[in-house]
A and B are shown apart, each in its own frame.
Chain A
Amino acid sequence: CWSWNPDGNGEIENYRAVIRTNSSYQSLSRASQSAELWTKILDLANEQRTALLVIIVFQLMCLADLEFDYINPYDSSSRINKAIMPEYITEGALCLFYLVTGHWCMSLICAPYLYYNARLYTRQKHLIDVTEIFNQLHAEKKQRLYKLFYLIILLFLSIFWMILTALEDHDMD
């Protein structure tokens, strides 16, 4: 599943880069650098969030296509299943990223989503079951819609955060 999603790979790379950046910047004076840094970091987070949004929307599209009989259950479920691990990993990375960069609040907000995914994974229920896909269609769609709203709220929150930080920095300058 790695081959499919360049985002996932990118995520890890980015995330390492951030850690490095982060630690090297720690010693520097916060005031001068912070604005630039925060923007960068939040850009990265935005990328992750966007990737997640795209994945979720893609899965929803597959389900909708299936419902309206544009694709058969075999293709639909294999496409969705390919996208599931990247989604989980990206989500995990995002959460970890917030944690490492000290955004406790955001990280906490992400946690339930991560926990939910982890729970599904440990119970081996994360993949779509092609034989029962039509019976589960409704639930699966609902689950993904919830995720979508969750992510959108997350997006708004972080934009708000970013603006707030930018304003603060601006004031300090």
Chain B
Amino acid sequence: MGTENPGRPSFPATPFAAAPPTMTPFSNSGSVVGSEASNLRPMRPTVPPNTSPPMTAGPAGSGESPAFRPAPPTRFNDPSLPTPPSSYGPPAAGTFNRFPTPPFGSMPPGPPARAPVVGQPPFQPPPSQVSPPLSFRPQGQIPGVPMGSPPPGVNTPQIDSSFPASRPNFQPSFPPTVSGYPAAGASSQLPLPGYVKQSNAPFQAPQGPPVQSPFQSPPVGYAPSAPTPSPHFLSQQGGLAQAPPVASPYGLHSSTMPPMGAMQGLIEDFSSLSIGSVPGSIDPGVDSKSLPRPLEGDVEPNSLPEGYSLNCNPRYLRLTTNAIPNSQSLVSRWHLPLGAVVCPLAQAPEGEEVSVLNFVSSGIIRCRRCRTYVNPFVTFTDSGRKWRCNICALLNDVPGDYFAHLDATGRRVDLDQRPELTKGSVEFVAPTEYMVRPPMPPLYFFLIDVSISSVRSGMIEVVAKTIKSCLDDLPGFPRTQIGFITYDSTVHFYNMKSSLTQPQMMVVSDLDDIFIPLPDDLLVNLSESRTVVEAFLDSLPTMFQDNLNMESAFGPALKAAFMVMSQLGGKLLIFQNTMPSLGVGRLKLRGDDPRAYGTDKEYSLRVPEDPFYKQMAADFTKFQIGVNVYAFSDKYSDLASIGTLAKYTGGQLYYYPSFQAANHSEKLSHELTRDLTRETAWEAVMRIRCGKGIRFTSYHGNFMLRSTDLVALPAVDCDKAYAMQLSLEETLLTNQTVYFQVALLYTASCGERRIRVHTAAAPVVSDLGEMYRQADTGAIVSMLSRLAIEKTMSSKLEDVRSNVHLRIVKALREYRNLYAVQHRLGGRLIYPESLKFLPLYGLALCKSTPLRGGYSDVPLDERCAAGFTMMALPVKNLLKLLYPSLVQLDDYLLKPSASADEFRKVMKRLPLTADSLDSRGLYVYDDGLQIVLWFGRMLSPDIAMNLLGPDAAAELSRVTLVERETEMSRRLMGLLKKLRESDPSYHQLCNLVRQGEQPREGFMVLTKLVEDQTGGTNGYVDWLIQLHRQVQQNA
């Protein structure tokens, strides 16, 4: 309940504004600039805002301290690309000393010269350096240092020591003296299509006039001559100009220093694609193979490894950009959403679990004013007696129990024993002040539709069996409570008192004024009434076997469940099969009314019709009840209305269209089992705090807000993520770092009240380019999709799609404006390396189930259900859903032996286009929710026989895949099992499709190939061309 922090989240403007906030890492109190700063503590070394930049070359200058910051358009080194490519040269000792002074001093503070990346004919040899026109250096400022040292090899050595480690794979491919041909080397180096992560480095522009060799081979010209045209390679071309190692300075800073590089405004790092046809030809001029594709899946940002190593893992908190803009004007130029995606309970891999700390005796250490929990970023001063809050900069007293001396460097001596001061994610056991009532027991209540259609589909049987099998695994063993209500045209209650042997059924048929026939014993302790519960579950399927009732008194049953549960809260699982037709909350078949489709009012079909459901959802949340809806109907059943119950109570909607026990029972029972047995946090509230000057203003996901910034989550688990958007409250942020702290106060199943705290820091920047460089595509896409789905509730799908499109265009245009003036980028589409997948994900989003096509393309219920699902999915799962994996299997199956090690090799994802499908192959398509096995028409009959046995010739829609006695079949099943294990939140049902088998192939595979042009939608190439054209307009 809302006790966590009644105070206001945003701190009132205070005298602290001026204080240089918290920049002193408590560990190295005095030694501010020293290069040892990076060794121990996470924080970037202190550079008080107004001091002049340290002249040391070490990691000290690490950052965006304002003093370093050149005028906005100047470039930073990308911290995530800490290794300029300039380092591949033969070690020539001694040169190190030739440039001992980094150009900090000698560089004029004004915009440094920048070397442009220019389109050059393909494969023009290094001599292209011959004439770098002067216009290439528009700023005309060549640093006074001997930057461009004549022989490329000379300068490089000093960095080598730091390099090989970080980029070993590149090293061999670069002949020592060649700096200009990374292309050839790299392409052969990158066997995997889209193996892009490695190739960050090439995106540095050349530096210094004599050594410039900007190679931008337009892909068209390039592709044919590439030895192994790896599909992805060309996308990188933009900056392929490999900078001959010029500047000694970077060497010094290179890999040890995260965001350094104010002095080299010379390095460019953007990617570009050559788009734009040769005049007179129809060919769009884009090699579709070269386009960037996220075939590696979601890549978590490996941001700022140095200064921010104490941040919580990105699986818990991801910012859309890891560089927070320092002014309103910068925010307005960042056209993508600015915010965070939080998954507070994300499943941690073995060995990385969040440690639980018990502070019950001494009280949890929190800031007096802003209620921030103690975290690794707080600083201890006054020989350990005070600590400074990193969020609001208030100086707090350290309680006696928590006191520890500081050592010479200002670190607490007991730091090793204090996980809360060394880890970004910790969990505190909350004392009684954090409870308004005793922690509730885990409570599961089932509301089961027993009308004729659910009997016929076999749903009841599967549900009863699954629940029964889960009884042992329900969390919170001795305290767990359980209860059941079934309904058709009447509502049936079950007395499960432990003294009974058989449950007693009570039927209430007064739907207008529903009441509970028995004050207690409808909700019983599972361990006490175990036999009765089991007896009930055994008899449930037979009890209603002959039920012919077609009505559904869903609303009254819901109210009854609410009355039973409102004392305790808990989780309500609804199994709903028939459209609610009786009593309050009855729904109309409005989705069947074709008149609303295609009009301006179409959106109203996607919002709940009856306010009853919203009101019920609000009441459920108020009483700590989380609702999960399992919907099975084969006909329209207005999930837009019923789904709201799950949406506002932090629950989930599972939809099994046309459920048939024979086909879907595996999926249902897996998902129900997971729902019942996964670790759940009960009666939770979540708040995210952030530093002064910024504020979270809007929240997106499945939950209800209890106050402006308090997210109420009656039952939350690891499969749910929430997004929130930031806004700046002040016109200019003065601090250099912003901290975020997510606190989730919940009751664990064991009955302990706990607080899970994730803390992260992000630098504040004044440079738009830096924001783009630090952008996190996954978080942005997650945010964009949530915003888009919310928008479908109030506007036409077409408008929503064009809105997504427009946002991407605006973002790219802004980015282009940063560079296009200096560089002649006429026909090129440029984008930051960090956002190279954004256009594709944008396209995939527009083709995703909630946004796709018109009314006829996706059944309304399916659209709504997908919308509810996508609003809750964590980033990784969402990206997989948007750009599913497609893998060719036949080679793997035919290979004589395959070890587990080979699994990774097999899983070579292919671009999602029909061209990837070879009619002689067998492919598996996996989007996290379902798996489709695609059998090519000319697939060798041998494989089909081995896998399907005698069914091979039959129509595949009726065939289910079972393990057969052949090696091949075993291997396939093993592979599918691995796929499922990699993503356990849903069970991916396996569908078989044969090429040409329409219409199944159409809706299962072909429409999901997002890069193809299907039914009036853009293909990937067209989409890019369209983007490019619009980016160029008013550019």
The answer to whether A and B interact is yes
| A74, B622: Cα distance in complex, Å | 8
Contact B706 A72 (CB under 8 A): yes
B-contacting residues, A104-141, CB 8 Å: 124, 127, 129-131, 133-135, 137
A67 within 8 A of B: yes
Contact A131 B707 (CB under 8 A): no
| A131, B701: Cα distance in complex, Å | 12
Contacts A68-B8, A72-B2, A74-B618 given; does A127 touch B708 at CB 8 Å: no
B629 within 8 A of A: no
Contacts of A8 in B (CB 8 A): none
| A69, B8: Cα distance in complex, Å | 8
Contact A131 B8 (CB under 8 A): no
Q: Which of A67, A69, A131 contacts B617 (CB 8 A)?
A: A131
Contact B705 A134 (CB under 8 A): yes
Closest to B609 in A: A124
Contact A134 B708 (CB under 8 A): yes
Contacts A68-B8, A69-B8, A72-B2 given; does A130 touch B615 at CB 8 Å: yes
Q: How many residues of chain B have a CB within 8 Å of chain A?
A: 18
B908 within 8 A of A: no
B611 within 8 A of A: yes
Q: Which of B6, B8, B614, B707 contacts A130 (CB 8 A)?
A: B614
| A9, B648: Cα distance in complex, Å | 37
Closest to B617 in A: A131
User: What's the nearest-Cβ distance from chain B to residue A87, in Å?
Assistant: 19
A73 within 8 A of B: yes
| A165, B398: Cα distance in complex, Å | 74
User: What's the nearest-Cβ distance from chain A to residue B703, in Å?
Assistant: 10
| A68, B482: Cα distance in complex, Å | 38
B362 within 8 A of A: no
Contacts of A127 in B (CB 8 A): 611
Contact B708 A69 (CB under 8 A): yes
**A-contact bits for B610-653, CB 8 A (1 contact / 0 none):** 01001101100010000000000000000000001000100000
Contacts of B579 in A (CB 8 A): none
**A-contact bits for B690-728, CB 8 A (1 contact / 0 none):** 000000001100001111100000000000000000000
Interface residues on A, range: 10 to 19
Contact B705 A129 (CB under 8 A): no
| A134, B617: Cα distance in complex, Å | 15
Contacts A68-B8, A135-B698 given; does A73 touch B707 at CB 8 Å: yes
| A68, B12: Cα distance in complex, Å | 13
B-contacting residues, A134-165, CB 8 Å: 134-135, 137
Closest to B615 in A: A130
Contacts A131-B618, A135-B698 given; does A72 touch B707 at CB 8 Å: yes
**B-contact bits for A68-100, CB 8 A (1 contact / 0 none):** 110011100000000000000000000000000
Contacts of A73 in B (CB 8 A): 618, 704-707
Contacts of A68 in B (CB 8 A): 8
User: What's the nearest-Cβ distance from chain A to residue B208, in Å?
Assistant: 53
Contacts A69-B6, A74-B618, A74-B622 given; does A131 touch B706 at CB 8 Å: no
User: What's the nearest-Cβ distance from chain B to residue A123, in Å?
Assistant: 9
* Interface of A, helix, strand, loop or mixed by DSSP: helix
Contacts of A74 in B (CB 8 A): 618, 622
Q: Which of A67, A124, A130 contacts B708 (CB 8 A)?
A: A67
| A137, B611: Cα distance in complex, Å | 19
Contact A131 B6 (CB under 8 A): no
Contact A131 B614 (CB under 8 A): yes
User: What's the nearest-Cβ distance from chain A to residue B685, in Å?
Assistant: 12
User: What's the nearest-Cβ distance from chain A to residue B743, in Å?
Assistant: 16
Closest to A123 in B: B604
| A133, B708: Cα distance in complex, Å | 10
Contacts of B707 in A (CB 8 A): 66, 69, 72-73, 134
Contact B708 A131 (CB under 8 A): no
Closest to A77 in B: B618
Closest to B707 in A: A69
Q: Which of A69, A124, A131, A137 contacts B704 (CB 8 A)?
A: A131
Contact A129 B614 (CB under 8 A): yes
Contacts A69-B708, A72-B707 given; does A131 touch B622 at CB 8 Å: no
| A127, B706: Cα distance in complex, Å | 19
| A137, B709: Cα distance in complex, Å | 13
| A72, B3: Cα distance in complex, Å | 12
B-contacting residues, A22-73, CB 8 Å: 66-69, 72-73
Contacts of B8 in A (CB 8 A): 68-69
A-contacting residues, B572-629, CB 8 Å: 611, 614-615, 617-618, 622
| A73, B706: Cα distance in complex, Å | 7
Closest to A135 in B: B698
A-contacting residues, B34-75, CB 8 Å: none
| A127, B618: Cα distance in complex, Å | 15
| A133, B644: Cα distance in complex, Å | 15
Contact A131 B2 (CB under 8 A): no
Contacts A69-B6, A69-B8 given; does A130 touch B706 at CB 8 Å: no
Contacts of B705 in A (CB 8 A): 73, 133-135
| A124, B706: Cα distance in complex, Å | 24
Contacts of B618 in A (CB 8 A): 73-74, 130-131
Closest to B6 in A: A69
| A68, B708: Cα distance in complex, Å | 8
Closest to A133 in B: B705
Contacts of A124 in B (CB 8 A): 611
Closest to A74 in B: B622
Closest to A124 in B: B611
The 5 closest A-B pairs by CB, nearest first: A134-B705, A130-B618, A69-B707, A131-B648, A131-B614
User: Knowing that A66-B707, A69-B8, A69-B708 are A-B contacts, what are 12 other residue pairs whose CB atoms are under 8 Å apart, sorted by A's residue number?
Assistant: A72-B2, A73-B704, A73-B705, A74-B618, A127-B611, A129-B614, A131-B614, A131-B644, A133-B705, A134-B707, A134-B708, A135-B705
Q: List 26 A-B contacts (CB under 8 A).
A: A66-B707, A68-B8, A69-B6, A69-B707, A72-B2, A72-B706, A72-B707, A73-B618, A73-B705, A73-B706, A74-B618, A74-B622, A127-B611, A129-B611, A129-B614, A130-B614, A130-B615, A130-B618, A131-B614, A131-B617, A131-B618, A131-B644, A131-B704, A133-B705, A134-B707, A135-B698
Q: Which residues of A contact B (CB under 8 A)?
A: 66-69, 72-74, 124, 127, 129-131, 133-135, 137
